[in-house]
Amino acid sequence: DSGVTQTPKHLITATGQRVTLRCSPRSGDLSVYWYQQSLDQGLQFLIQYYNGEERAKGNILERFSAQQFPDLHSELNLSSLELGDSALYFCASSMGQGYGYTFGSGTRLTVV
């Protein structure tokens, strides 16, 4: 157990639907990062939050949004889902640069 909890582990949904992925960071970590890993591709950075505020944005689609709540857990919302959104979505947390990230085990999203 890495200390970063992601739910659900698996999600199957239809095109056009909306889903919410949840992440609880490791205790004491203020930063949360979301990454997407599509088939045969590396980890693509989506977005970072630090203590409730958006800190950095990557190649996140407009159909996707995220937030970090006062208790530091984070949610990634994916809407108007397309087949190409099928991927592994990882959440990671950290104390800051120099400490590395701790990753959750991911949510596997399948859009059918």
Partner 1 sequence: DQQVKQNSPSLSVQEGRISILNCDYTNSMFDYFLWYKKYPAEGPTFLISISSIKDKNEDGRFTVFLNKSAKHLSLHIVPSQPGDSAVYFCAASANDYKLSFGAGTTVTVRA
Contacting partner 1 (CB under 8 A), which of 19, 85, 103, 111? Answer: 103
Contacting partner 1 (CB under 8 A), which of 50, 65, 67, 86? Answer: 50
Are the CB atoms for 9 and 107 separated by under 8 Å? yes
Rounded Cα distance between 11 and 9, Å, is: 7
Are the CB atoms for 22 and 75 separated by under 8 Å? yes
**Contact map string, positions 9 to 38, toward partner 1, x by CB under 8 A:** ----------------------x-x-x---
Site residues, partner 1 (CB under 8 A): 2, 4, 6, 31, 33, 35, 40-45, 48, 50, 55-56, 58, 90, 92, 94, 96-98, 100-106
